[in-house]
Structures are given as structure tokens and as C-alpha cells.
Chains A and B, each alone.
Chain A
Amino acid sequence: MNCPDQRRFDLLLRYLDGNLPSSELGALNRLLREDPEAAAWLREIAQQAVGLGDIARREEWVERAGEAGADAAAGGTKQAEKVGPAGLPGARSHPPAKRLQLGWMLSAAVLALLAGLVARELWLGQRAESSIATLSAASGSVVRQEIAGARQVIHTGQELGAGSLATEGEGSTAEVRFADGTTLGLAGNTEIAISEDGRGKQVRLRQGVVTVTVAEQPDDRPLRVQTATAEIEVIGTIFTVGAEAEATRVEVGRGKVQVRRLVDGREIEVGAHRRTFASLDASEAFIAEARSPVPWSWRQRFDRAGIEGWRGSWRPAGPEGPASWGAQPYLAGRQADGTPIMHRGLVGRASISTPGQHFVAISSDSVLTLRYRTAAPQKVMVFLSTHEPDGTFGGNFEALIPAIPDGAPDYDVRGDGWREVVLPLASFRAASPGHLSMEAGSEVFLLLISTREAEADLQVAEAGIHPAASLPKTTPQ
């Protein structure tokens, strides 16, 4: 096999780099079909790439094993070089006389380790031996997500190895706790992959919102959060990251983080109470700016289609009432056997592309106002997710509006089926472990209004959260 010229090699390397425009894809496909040398080179590069990854991982494994019993294993031999057995920077070296034998022993050991991991952990769905964290709290449906779509429902207390984790449905939340106290708070419909190795903890946020509370990390092993558009590096702090396919928003509650925009590699430091936004557009401003204050009063009228951050079906005003949004099916959880539990609801989440990432801040007398209608009397559930002012997860809270009006003064029926309800937030009960009540100053980032009955035909015309003192003294009519 001869070497292809640099132009053909460039084509292969740019494809592997994700840097090949679709206009050149046809040329590459033709080249690989018609030129056996080019096809063989692509296979060769792939084998080298995978092999280099195996070697580097193995060296880190050796390094950790060496650290665990350095004195006994070294027998007094120095192990201080910065270059590993095969010379990949970042791992330690072993005495030359032992290299070859150790290499073979390790090859066998790594294969045995892999076989053991796969057989014991993946086959059985457990990762206890390679646990790096624990699912410390969960609500709704939380799954370990396999690449090809196979999913395994997991529960509070389950140990987690390196791999993917997802909350299914807007109302599902999860908290992942590492041994050092670092926590990841996952909002609904969030997918992450976690790992921890010689480089430190790594979190890949594929979609959704995660609040990261970082215990102090070693200087040379910072925690890294990667998204499609940014990389965040941190030694110890609290921050929230929201990621969509083409944008990432970072808000820092305490401490500071280093954010790198991947599109152009620029880096900035984002300090406490500041935020930044990284997209795929390198011409867009990439700066740390003061976090927008979250309002104390908030109202959303569902009088038009396409309200950002909300999911439901819009219905224009008509003889039956005002314009509204109708509930849609969503995944509320899973039974023990994995069977999905479907409810119908209207869900809103503060969008990452809008300032603040929160709808409203809560005061001690805040109330929720709701104007809604169902086809027949039905219980309606209202569910809120909050952050504390410092950015940590503040808990999930829920309240049930009974189906039958009970004569309460703020429970008004007009006779047309539309109801106007005022619920003190203090009456909401905690729906996530470790959070007893909503704290004043907490900020609401998710609101879910739902019913369990498919035929309920829930419609919502308006929702809001306000300090009670700011409401009119009379019951709304």
C-alpha cells in the first residue's frame, strides 16, 4: 500500500475531523470506492486512532494503580517522569527493563477488565464495581440511556458508572452525587454523559439544563462540562448550564468558571452572578455580563401560537372562551417494568435563549394564578421546579386543584367552565427529596399544569405567579 498524496490525505483527515463540507462528500465517497489505497489508509488511521485511545486509557489505569500502591510496586524505583510507557504525555513511565513484559501483561489485563466490565455491569445492568457517582434523588422517569435507544429505568440510590443518564419528560428531575460531594442537578428532558478518570470529572451535556455544584477539585483535574458549542472548566463553584443543539448558556451562582466557545476557541472567565452565551456564530458577542434580575411578578397569557419555551397546542379565541393552549401527552414516569405513564399537560420552561433562565422569583406571599378549563370536572396538578438564588437546585413542588369546587372564595366558576384559581405557593408540597418548602428568593424555571385523564381536554388561558399583595383585593371574575 503506497501513501496517497497530501491532497487525498487531507480529504480523509478533514472527513474524520468533521470538517468536510457536504459538497465534497461525493468526491470522498468516489475516492473510497475506486481507490483501494485510500480505503486502506482510512482503515489504518481508524485502527491507529482506536489503538492510541486504548494505550492512553491503559496508561492512566496504570498510573492510578501505581498511585494506589506506589511504594510496593516500584520497589524503590523512581516513577516520576512525565511520559508514560508508550510515551503519551500525561502518564508515568516504568523502568525500561519491565516495559515489554508489562505491556503484554497489561494487554491481557485490559481485555480481562473490559470483559469483566461488560459481563458484570452491562449484561446485568449494574455498575457497582466501577461506580463513580450515585443517583441521590429522582422524580418522574430517569433512565440510563444506551446509544442505540435501549433504556433502563433507574431509581434513587442506584450507583452509576461512566455512561449516559437522561430525565424523560419535562417534570422529571434527577440529582447525581459524586463521592466528593459534587452534584449535578438535571432538569426535565436533560441528557448527560458522565465519566471520571485521570483528567478529572467530565460531563457531556447533550441537551437540557444541568446545575452543577462543584466541590473543590484538584488544580490539575478540573471538572469539565462539554456541550455542542462550549466547554466549561471549573475547580469549585456553582453554575447552571443550559444547552441546545446550537447554543449554550452558562450562569454562575458562586465562584467562577472558564468557558471556551468551540466555534472559534475563544475563552472567557465568568464570575459569580454573571452569565454568558456561546453559539455557533463566531460573530456573535461572547462576553460575561451581569445576570438579568429575575422579576417578582410574572404572567403568561396563552393568546397566540409559538410562545417560546412552552409546549402545548394553541387554540384561538372562539365561542367557548378566550384563546388558550391545550394540554398534550407527556411522559410522567415509568412503572417498575418500564411501562410508560402518560399524563396530559401544558409545560413551560424558561428558555436558555432568553435572559435569566427563570420565570419569576418567589416572595414569602407569592401565589399562583391560573385560568383554565376542563371538559368535565377533573383534578388538575400544578408542578413547579425551582433554583435557589445561588443557582443550586431548589426542589420540585406540586399542588392538586380538586375537581369539585369546594366553595373557597378564590375558587370561581363563571358557568362557562372556565375557572380562575389562586393558590398560595406556601400550600405546595415538596416533590423532591431534601427540599421541604419553597424558600423566598427561589426562582421558578419550570411550570407544568396537567391532568391524568386523557379525555379531560385541559385548556389554559393564563398563568402567573405574583406576590399576593400585588393582586387586586377582589376575587377575579
Chain B
Amino acid sequence: MALDESNILRVLFQARARLSASVWLVVRDAQTAEDIFQNVAVRALNHELHFDHEAQLLSWVHVAARREALDWLRRHRHRWVALDEGVLEHLDAGWAPEAEKPAGPRLHALEECLRRVSETGRRLLRLRYFEGRSCAEVAQAMGLSIEAVYQRLTRLHRQLKTCIELRLSSPPTDSPAP
């Protein structure tokens, strides 16, 4: 029996974080990634499409989102390079082992880990990933060289990754970290 709308929505929102991240890798703009996710979600609910099971839906959604992202890139970012589609497929395949994991705990861990980041680091992350500024713009805003921004981003991503993995491997706690 084909998945109904409520099941399609449930699967889509469970996969939202990873799907948006997959699209973000192509378009490198959070708002656009969100737009593409929403657009693909709308198409998935089109009554002309039928999905017999979740894996089929997820496979279709990943391919559709990747194509829309590449199409967007071709139309809007002439000067930006795009990865080979084969490489993007390879990257997408890497999300598969995590498909069953809920995204909430990871997001919560990221939120907790962010509190351990310095004020300067948080500002850098906000400028780069929430406001969508280029590293050159971040460098100018913070009075740094662009190389320094790349180095700080490298350190911050490593710090956050280590912290997230520690928190996800620890038993849940009801009290806030000291």
C-alpha cells in the first residue's frame, strides 16, 4: 500500500536535517537549502507520485533534491564550481547509515556543545552559517585574515564534532551541564 500524506510528512521531517545538509553541500546557502527541501516536499505530496515504502521515498527525495540543487546552482551561481554528480551521489550514500537515527538528539547535542565555544567562535559561526556570509566577509567583519578564518573554522568544526560524539555516546541526563 502506498504511503499516505501523513507518513510522507513524517518521513520527510525525520530526514529533514540530513536532506537539507545534502542540499547545502551543493548550494552552500542555508535559506536556499531550506527552500529546496520545502519544494521537494511539496512535490513528494503530489498525488501523481506513489511511494510503496520509506526507502523508496527517501531515495526519490535525495535524487530530486540533488537535481534541484544543481539546477539552482546552474541558474544562480555561474561563477561557483559544482562537484561532480557522481561525487554528490557518493556523499549522499554516506547519509544512509544514519537514516534511521532521529535528528533531534544530534541537534540538541550541537546546541549544548555550542555553549562551550568561545564568544568569538560563536560570532564567527553565526556570521558564516546563519547570516550566510563568505569567509572574506567574515574576515573583514572580525578583523582577521581569510586564512585565519579557515583555520578557526577548522578548529571549531573539530571541537563541535568531538563534543557532539561525546554527548551522543553518553547516557541522557535531566539536568543541565554545569
Binding site for B on A (CB under 8 A): 3, 6, 9-10, 13-22, 25, 28-29, 32-33, 39-57, 83, 85-90, 96-97, 99-100, 103-104, 107, 111, 114-115, 118-119, 122-123, 146-150, 163-164, 193, 195, 199, 206, 245, 262, 265
**Could you count the A-B residue pairs with CB atoms below 8 Å apart for me: how many are there?**
192
Residues of A within 8 A of B114 (CB): 52, 55, 86-88
Nearest A residue to B41, CB-CB? A118
User: B32 near A28 (CB under 8 angstroms)?
Assistant: no
CB atoms of A86 and B115 under 8 A apart: yes
> Interface of B with A (CB < 8 Å)?
9, 13, 16-18, 20-22, 24-25, 28, 30-33, 35-36, 38-43, 45, 68, 71-72, 76-81, 83-84, 86-87, 90-91, 94-95, 104, 106-108, 110-112, 114-115, 117, 119, 122-123, 125-126, 128-131, 134-137, 140, 146, 150-151, 153-154, 157-158, 160-161, 173-176
Q: Are A150 and B39 in contact (CB under 8 A)?
A: yes
Choose one: B17, B33, B80, B153; the contact of A51 (CB below 8 Å): B17
Residue of B nearest to A56 (CB): B130
Chain B nearest Cβ from A454, distance in angstroms:
29
Can you list 21 contacts pairing A with B, beta carbon distance less than 8 Å?
A15-B83, A17-B134, A19-B135, A32-B83, A32-B90, A43-B91, A46-B25, A48-B157, A50-B17, A52-B125, A53-B129, A55-B107, A55-B111, A83-B122, A85-B111, A103-B112, A104-B108, A111-B13, A147-B68, A147-B72, A262-B137
Which of B68, B130, B136 is close to A53, meaning CB atoms less than 8 Å apart?
B130
Chain B nearest CB from A298 CB (Å) reads 34
A310 vs B80: C-alpha distance in the bound complex, in angstroms?
29
Minimum CB distance partner of A40 in chain B: B94
Q: B18 contacts A13, CB within 8 Å?
A: no
* A50-B17, A88-B126 known; A9+B154 contact, CB < 8 A: yes
Taking the nearest CB of chain A, how far is it from the CB of B47, in angstroms? 11
Known contacts: A13-B135, A55-B114. The answer to whether A46 contacts B21 by CB under 8 A is yes
Contact A50 B84 (CB under 8 A): no
Q: Contact: B21 with A49, CB < 8 Å? A: yes
Give every chain B residue within 8 A of A245 (Cβ-Cβ).
Answer: 78
Cβ A46 vs Cβ B110 within 8 A: no
Expressed in whole angstroms, the Cα–Cα distance for A55 and B115 within the complex equals 12
- In whole angstroms, what is the CA distance A17 to B133 when docked? 9
- Hey, which chain A residues are within 8 Å of B84, CB to CB? 29
Closest residue on chain B to residue A111 by CB atoms = B13
The 6 A-B pairs at the shortest CB distance, nearest first, are namely A46-B21, A56-B130, A86-B111, A53-B30, A265-B140, A86-B114
Nearest B residue to A3 via CB reads: B158
The residue that A47 contacts in the complex, of B17, B31, B79, B140, with Cβ under 8 A, is B17
Task: Judge whether A52 and B130 touch: CB under 8 Å.
Answer: yes
Instruction: Kindly provide the distance from the CB of A344 to the nearest chain B CB, expressed in whole angstroms.
Output: 26
Known: A14-B150, A100-B175. A114 touches B13 (CB 8 A): yes
A13: chain B residues at CB < 8 Å are 135, 150, 153-154
Q: How far is the CB of A205 from chain B (nearest CB, A)?
A: 13
CA distance A13 to B111 in the complex (A): 22
CB distance from B87 to the nearest CB of A (A): 5
